[in-house]
Structure formats: C-alpha cells, structure tokens
Amino acid sequence: MGILDGLNERQQEAVTTTEGRVRVVAGAGSGKTRALAHRYAYLVNNLGIDPSNILCVTFTNKAAKEMAQRISKLVDRGHYNDYVCTIHGFCVKVLRKEIYRIGFPRIFLIIDKDDSKQLAREVMQELGIEKKDTTINAFLNNVEFNKGLLKNEYVKKYMLSGYKPSEKDKEFPFIVFLQKQLKLFALDFQDLIYFTWYILDTFDEAREYWQNELNYIMVDEAQDCTNSEWYIVELLCKKYNNLFIVGDPDQLIYEWRGVALGSFMNFRHDHEVIMEENYRSTPNILDVANSVIVYNKNRIEKTLFTRHNPGKQVIHFHGNTQIEEAQWIVKQIKDIEHKLGAKNGDFAILYRASYLSRFIEEALMRDGLKYTIWGGIRFFERKEIKDSLSYIRLIALGDDLSFKRIVNVPSRKIGKVFLSRLSAIAEMEKVSLYDALKNHKNDDVFRKESVEKFIKLIEESREFSAISSISELLEYVLTGSGLKKELRDDGEEERLENIAELIDSIRYYEEVNKEEDITLETYLQDIALYTNADYKKDADTIKLMTIHQAKGLEFPFVFVIGLSEGILPNYRTIRERKKEGEEEERRLMYVAMTRAEKALFLTESEGFNVSTRTDKYPSRFIREIKKQFFVTEGSMDESLWKGTDQLIMSLEARENITESVFEEGDIVTHAIFGQGTVIEVNAERKSCKVSFENFERNILFLHLTKQTEETR
C-alpha cells in the first residue's frame, strides 16, 4: 500500500508539499494526525530522509505517543526517532546535551506545580511575606508573569551572573525564588523553554548543531504555540527553512496561557492547504458548529463538510432547574443505550467549569450509571467537599473518621505525637477522639490555643445547629473554622466555587424536603448514598470533563451542559479581555460541539448563576445557531432571550463604569438602602463603602446614584 493511498486530495497535497514553509489549516476531524504521520513516512520512504533529521512537535504527550505509533507502522525501516515529542520534551533533549554550557548538570531537576508551591512557601517564610499580603498562587503567578516578561533574559541576569539581590530590587521575592531554583538545579516548564532559547541564542556551536540536525520541522496544533515556542521553532529552521505547521485558529482556546493567535494567522508561508472535509461528525452537527463560529472575526475562513448521512438532529434542552436538566440527560443516555445498544463509554458530558458536574453526578449515581471524572475528581470526593461534610458530620455524630480528617484543617499544629496520645486516652476511656480531647483539653500535652478554639467552634456549632438550617450551619462552621479564609488567602477560587455549589445543593435539598422533618443526621444519611457509591475504574464509563480537557478527543454522543450566559461565555473572560475574550469563548463552544460524532445535545437551565450573581439565562451562543439546525425541548419561555440581552447589557455596563465617579463624602442613593454617604472608595473593585443610617455596606458603583445639587 502506498503512502498516499486512502488520503483525500487536500491531505495528499499536505503530504507531498515537502519543501519550504507550509501552513495547513486543518478543521476539526479533518484527519490532520493522519496527514502528519503520512507526511513523515513520505519524507522517510519516498525522499530517503533520515528520521534523525526530522522533528515532529505535538501539543501533548498523548498526541506524541499516538503520532509515534502511527509513524512506526508506516516507515519502511519500522522505526522512528525520538524527535516525535512535545515542544517541552524536545527542549529537555536539547538541554540534556547543552545545559553543561551554563554550569548545570546534564541530569537537572524538573519541578511541577506542587514543587513550585513548596519553594514559594519557603521564600515567603524567609522573607516574612504573610498570606494576608499575597497568596501562594498569587506569588507563583507573579513568578510566571516576570519570567514571561523578561523571557530568556532572566536566565543570565538573575541565575547565571552571580547576581546578589537586595531588598531594594523591585522584584526581590522573584529573584530569591529563582536563586532557590538555581541551588537545586531545578527547572519548571517555563524554564525549559527559556533556557533552551537562551542557550541556542548564546552559543553559536549549539545553535548550528541543532540547525544542521533538523532538516525538516513539523508542528502539530501550531495555533497553541506561545511566542517563545514560535521563536525556538523559527530559530531551528533557519538553515533549511523547511517548516510545516498544522493547526486550526478556530480551536485556539489557550490565549489565557499566553498563546498568540496572530503567530499562526500571520505565519509567512510559501504554500497553504485548507482541509475542510470532516471525518468525525454528521452534517447536522457541523451545521450547528459552523453557524456559531462564523460570528468570530479573527479567523481563517473555512466551512467544514462531511460525506456522512445527516444523522440525528441537534437538540437544545431547557430545564426549569439543574435537577431537571440532569434528569433529562440521564434519560437520553438510557434511551440511546436501550434503542441503539450504545455503551457508557460512548458518552461524554462537557462543561465550562468543574463545579457544574455536581447535579449530573448525583443523577448518574441515582440511576446506577458508571462515570469517570476525566482528569479530575468526583464532586463529592473533592478534598474541600469531604472536609466540609466532615465538619458537619463531626458536629452531628462526633465520629472519629471526621475528627481525624478535619482536626488539622486548616492547620492547628497538631502532629502525630499529639494524635497518638489522644488515641491512647480515647481507647482507655472508651470515648470518641473528640470527647477525649474535650475532657483533657487542659492537660499539658493538649493545652493549645488552637485546640481550645477548635472545641469552642464545635460546641457553638452544635448549639447553632438547633436553631439553624443545615446550609446556614455549614456556612457558620466553614467561616468559624477559617477554612474558607484559608482557601481565599491561597487563591483557591475553584475550591471556593465547589463549596458554594455544595451549600447551594443543601439549600435545594432543604427546599425539596421542606414538608419533611429533616435533620442534620438525615441529610448526612441521604448524602452518604451518593458519596459511598462504589465505582471501579472502568473504561466503559460515561466521561465527565471540562471542555478544555476534551480538546483533541471525540465521542459518539456528546452533551454540552450548563450553557448559561456568564458561564459559557464566561463572564470573567469577557470582563478581562472584552471582544478577544468573547471570541475565545466562542472557539471553546466550537471545540465542544465538534467533539461529537453521531449526536450532539446542548443543555441549560434556570436558577441562580454564581458567576454573574443573577438569574440564569440561555447563552448567546445557542441563539447564534440558525433555527433550522436544531430543535428545543423542555418548557422554555421565549422571554428568557430578553433576559439574555439584558444580562449582556448589564454586564457590559458594569465594565464601562469609570473609577472616578465617586469620592469620599459624596451623598449617594441605593434602591433598597436609601440615602447614604461614601466613606471609602475601592477603585480596583469598583465599589464604595457607604454609611447608611444605621449600618455600612460595600456597594458596587453600578448600584449607586450620586446626588448632585440638581437631584437633591
């Protein structure tokens, strides 16, 4: 079988155009991986190029592995070189050969996010930086920002020159962090790029070696390359100038990571191939995807098509509640499994943010459907959720498992010796660990301020539980324990969102069961039915994942859920990056829809939107789909679209408010609280602290009217 057999005209063109700078715009499902593998084989088998002179860069390790497997089946010699890898993987290969030039050992340490957090903690502790001043995540974000700002310059300036930092340095903590890395000969993923760039730029011999070595360079998912990665690729191909890039600007969803769309869009090329034939999806799915993405202005025009049968019409479902949305999804899955013989593994449920998985998880467990959180943890198995539930379980039941889990959450400096001695007493007196601690809190070994506060919190929470709802109790204990504050101080926004979602679910439970005599104990029993569900790791499971995690994957049946304005598109993204942010969110929607092979379902529901702090309304992206391309199920009032428009205008209005509208001493009016006086202005948050008649409140600018001489 020839290398070109089975390829369409555009794929053949991509494979056989071997010389010069070639840009391939490959739509979703157009067979770009197949084209890349066959091009590699064409270079080896037909042109006689040695595999050691070909670099094929992919975006993920998974993609690299798949590419290598395909190539190994095509090349005559039955092998391929190890230059089929990610850009970071290639940089490691360069550094292992060349890093000695800057005094590093060839076996250097590569550190991950957790390692970086530990280094950040050490730096903050050494410099006396308290969490109230900055979070660990914020500290690391600053490190990442400065590396990105300085690019490869920081390598020489702060790590190789013997630079002695002083506290007068503007970025003193950043420099201390770098030098702590240097002592360990440790590089993070950013460093791999910048150190490679620095070495290739600085040492002629190293640069010439790699330029001579790499006759042909191919870059997969090129739209996702950062400017720094582009620089390295362009530097490497200068001698032979054979650079082949494949990508799809419509699938660029990582601009927030520093990826530059313009690098692909403005790529100087000798030849261009546009691959529009889709082998994955039905015409009905592609019609929907095409009708949304055309609203983006910054793109290379193309229209996906397929020779498949039309397939099942795309369905949009509107639920009155998230529960109804989840139940409808479960029903569709069971119906498809029954009628078409589909398996659990044929289904994927995609969402913009991980907290949206909770209602789906509950519904799937209730019906005994196996599922897997792709690259993540089930909602009720997430640490912050288990910690939260353990607090209220300890309050209700006083059990040892809950005690062990949260006695040191947040940290109360309770170590193994402390717990060992406490366990011995509890065993001897035949009481729970908590009761043992309460009974012996004044013993020398247990006398701690943190212990006294912990016991006081639990006892006061038990008293509070008698007069409060379960949701109010959880709010009370999470605030009193300091857990919410710790997560906020550490910048753990996703974990805080998950806790907010848990509290919201409890409120829903209370509402549904308001006619029943519910107690804290009965709630814990009910929730245990979900948390104790026994699931084995099984490939034949429904996949739940964020849309970002779904990039590059495909499934027969896809549900894109939580399609509410403010969630997708994400309000924060649009707020920070305006039209660019909106276009990236639309690309994210496009990626989600083009994961589907046989059927696509788009769902959303009414309720409260945590992102916008308003009622939920359908996403603008659903309305952008031409009506003839989908059907709507569920009881949906068309007036909700007016709510979408009003919400969009409201959110835009919030961002258009200037920071100089109010000053201290201004008389203002609030629709609910009446007249008050501005006593403090927070321009960054676009809010004022206002003194009303008997109280103070922090109010967003949007909700205040300044009283002038004319209006008084």
**Active-site positions?**
32-33, 220-221, 251, 595
One-letter-per-residue 3-state SS of 157-220: HHHHCCCCCCCCCCCHHHHHHHHHHHHHCEECHHHHHHHHHHHHHHCHHHHHHHHHHCCEEEEC
3-class secondary-structure state, position 688: strand
- Give the integer Cα–Cα distance in Å for 199 and 541: 46
- Helices vs strands, H then E, count in the chain: 28, 22
Unique residue bearing structure tokens 């949007």? 702
Nearest to 588 by CA among 551, 622, 616: 551
Residue 699 backbone phi and psi in degrees, to 5: -120, 135
- Give the integer Cα–Cα distance in Å for 484 and 500: 10
Cis peptide before 410 (omega within 30 of 0): yes
Residue type, 442: N
- Give the integer Cα–Cα distance in Å for 348 and 556: 8
Can you spell out the DSSP letters for 522-544?
Answer: HHHHHHHHHHT------SSSEEE
Can you spell out the DSSP letters for 347-407?
Answer: EEEEESSGGGHHHHHHHHHHTT--EEETTS--GGGSHHHHHHHHHHHHHHH--HHHHHHHT
Length of the chain counted residue by residue: 712
- Give the integer Cα–Cα distance in Å for 582 and 115: 34
- Give the integer Cα–Cα distance in Å for 627 and 611: 28
278: Cα separation from own chain's centroid:
27
Q: Two tokens at 355?
A: 């907290």
- Give the integer Cα–Cα distance in Å for 569 and 547: 12
DSSP-H helix ranges across 625-683: 640-656
- Give the integer Cα–Cα distance in Å for 582 and 62: 29
- Give the integer Cα–Cα distance in Å for 481 and 476: 8
- Give the integer Cα–Cα distance in Å for 120 and 115: 9
- Within 10 angstroms of residue 158's Cβ, the number of other Cβ atoms is 23
Q: Do the Cβ atoms of 654 and 686 come closer than 8 Å?
A: yes
